[in-house]
Structure 1
Amino acid sequence: MTDAPNTPAPQNESADTDEAMKAKRKKMLVIVALVIIVAAVIYALWAFIFSGSVNTDNAYVGAETAEITSMVSGQVAEVKVSNTQQVKKGDLLAVIDNRDARIALAQAQAELAKAQRQYTQSSANSNSLTSQVLVSSDDINSAKAQVAQAQVEVERAQAELARRIQLGASGAISKEELATSQSAFNTTKANLEVAKAGLAQAESKRKAAESNLAANDALIKGANQASTPDVLVAQAKVDQAKLDLQRTEIRAPLNGVVAQRSVQVGQRVAPGSMLMSVVPVSDVYVDANFKESQLEKVRVGQKATLTSDLYGKSVEYHGTVVGFSGGTGAAFALIPAQNATGNWIKVVQRLPVRIQLDPKELAEHPLRVGLSMDATIDLTSK
């Protein structure tokens, strides 16, 4: 006779399964909670450590490059430098044939000497014209005396003629004597007219001398040999000729490295011709192109730390934010984006931020224009 089956067994198995499921759910909840806690801790650490700075590797070295151009025309006689050569301010870079400039200077100096002599001559003419005015005054006085004497002679001849006429009416004198007296009277009248004409001529000469003196004085009045207009114009031409002669020697305007040298000996250059460039490697800066979403807290004066691909992470540069560009790179592109037409896709823009580097660090580890940099700005600095 067989025993009946134990019916409570299925219930025990179901209870064990429920307990296992509950333990599994509890374990999953614990894992999820741990993941959330770890994520929160990581985010907190990131916010605490990294939210105080912004970083970009879209940064490049730049400099205010000096473009060397010719200020005069002529043939290049010498070129003293080559590309990559270090130069200092005032170093001779190139020489233009100066023979034409020397001739122009000699001509300008001759014109200056001529103008100075003309001033000296004008001064002497003033003295001469003053003497002529004085002489003319003496001539006028002499002419007046001659007129007065001629007038007396006329009056005397006139009285003699009247007396002769009375005597001739009574027959006391001959007609010949009367005619002689009449002729003498006419002669004295003519002499009076001649004397008056002489007086008028003397007065005209004095007026002419006075006019010439006034005109000559107008040229030199209130001036000396160095300040008269003609001398000043001639002196300006001499100064210009000296400057043109000086400009035949082209010198470096600053310390730097020669680049883009295109001039050759024998080449004829015109004013404004590009000869070469001088890059001031000791005074370079970095233009860091940050995303517009990174610039909310960036301010002028904040400190920055930079590294260069040239030296690697072992060499750090320290700099200061000195300014922001007036527009994004897209705004100044050769062909700006036409966002108002066609299908539009938003692209995060980048704004160049200029960072000035420490000159001492640049002297220890020189950089060149165009090198890539990695820039980090400390937003907590002021």
Structure 2
Amino acid sequence: VARLLSLLAQGHLGRRRGMESLVPAEDIQRANQAVAIAQAELRGARVTVDRAKLDLARTELRAPTDGYVTRLRLNKGDYAVAGQPNLALIDAHSFWITGYFEETKLRGIKPGAAAQIRLMGFDQVLPGRVASIGRGITDSNQQADAQGLPSVEPSFSWVRLAQRIPVRVEFDHVPHEVVLAAGMTGSIEVTPSAGTPMPQGRLISLLHRWM
């Protein structure tokens, strides 16, 4: 409709321009204004059509990767609100496990080292590789108070426990019968790198065996 009005206005203006000596200047000016209005309405109609096409395309969601849909809380006929998540997509190829190793045991752990993963709900031992080692953890003494100053604990324990550092381990292969879900619990055993000395002594060996 807007395009038809624009064409009619342009045709009317063309006829008026060929009759400058017979048509008053005010009529020509009104015809120019009508053409400008019709062209503006045409542009607005095109924008509306483009927006409708975009909204229609957004009604179909395509996953960017293979995965599993979880936390789907919508039913047929429900309205989706912009900026409010309604489902979660878990990448099927992004599973890893994080082990929290004591800092005294990090000397035997290197990126690329082989690891054995035992999930709590399965008997299989899954192979894996150390992907990365965390390079920082939170220091409670560095937390600032209301004035922006560090809040240092007044007492210091004589017995200092080893801090635990996160180590990310990725799976090499997962059997089909093993179902992975984010948040599962397991244990990790990392094979020390070649040439790394192991702790010696009966007491240390027993502690490693039971921990």
SS at match of 2:187: strand
**Contact kept in structure 2, 1:282 and 1:363, CA below 8 Å:** no
Deviation at 1:351, TM superposition (A): 1.7
SS at match of 2:49: helix
Unmatched 5+ residue regions in structure 2? 145-149, 195-211
> Who is 1:311 aligned against?
122
Q: How does 1:248-287 map to 2 (within 5 A)?
A: 254-256=66-68, 258=70, 270-271=81-82, 275=86, 277=88, 279-280=90-91, 283-287=94-98
Deviation at 1:299, TM superposition (A): 3.6
Change (3 A) 1:120 1:361: same
> Which one of the candidate residues 8, 12, 22 is aligned to 1:124?
8
> Which one of the candidate residues 336, 359, 369 is aligned to 2:182?
369
> Who is 1:355 aligned against?
169
> Who is 2:35 aligned against?
216
Higher helix share: 1
Cα deviation 1:219-254 (Å, max 9, x = unaligned): 759xxx9xx63133212331354256x26xx88775
Change (3 A) 1:294 1:208: farther
Change (3 A) 1:323 1:339: farther
**Contact kept in structure 1, 2:69 and 2:87, CA below 8 Å:** no
**Contact kept in structure 2, 1:290 and 1:351, CA below 8 Å:** yes
**Contact kept in structure 2, 1:281 and 1:367, CA below 8 Å:** no
> Which one of the candidate residues 38, 47, 71 is aligned to 1:233?
47
Deviation at 1:261, TM superposition (A): 6.0
> Who is 1:134 aligned against?
18
Cα deviation 1:39-95 (Å, max 9, x = unaligned): xxxxxxxxxxxxxxxxxxxxxxxxxxxxxxxxxxxxxxxxxxxxxxxxxxxxxxxxx
Deviation at 1:289, TM superposition (A): 0.8
Q: Kindly report the root-mean-square deviation, in angstroms, between the aligned alpha carbons of the 2 structures.
A: 4.2
Task: With the length of structure 1 as denominator, give the TM-score of the two structures.
Answer: 0.38
* Higher radius of gyration, 1 or 2: 1
SS at match of 2:45: helix
**Contact kept in structure 2, 1:262 and 1:276, CA below 8 Å:** yes
**Contact kept in structure 2, 1:281 and 1:368, CA below 8 Å:** no
Deviation at 1:287, TM superposition (A): 0.6
How far, CA to CA, are the matches of 1:279 and 1:135 in structure 2? 71
Change (3 A) 1:295 1:234: same
- Code of the residue aligned with 2:163 in structure 1: it is Q
Deviation at 1:350, TM superposition (A): 1.2
SS at match of 2:161: coil
Deviation at 1:218, TM superposition (A): 9.0
> Who is 1:151 aligned against?
none
**Contact kept in structure 2, 1:288 and 1:352, CA below 8 Å:** yes
How far, CA to CA, are the matches of 2:78 and 2:3 in structure 1? 44
- Code of the residue aligned with 1:233 in structure 2: it is V
Structure number with the bigger relative contact order (C-alpha 8 A, sep ≥ 6) is: 1
Change (3 A) 1:135 1:251: closer
Deviation at 1:283, TM superposition (A): 4.2
- Code of the residue aligned with 1:132 in structure 2: it is R
How far, CA to CA, are the matches of 1:268 and 1:231 in structure 2? 26
How far, CA to CA, are the matches of 2:182 and 2:78 in structure 1? 29
Deviation at 1:135, TM superposition (A): 1.7
> Who is 1:94 aligned against?
none
Deviation at 1:357, TM superposition (A): 0.6
- Code of the residue aligned with 2:131 in structure 1: it is V
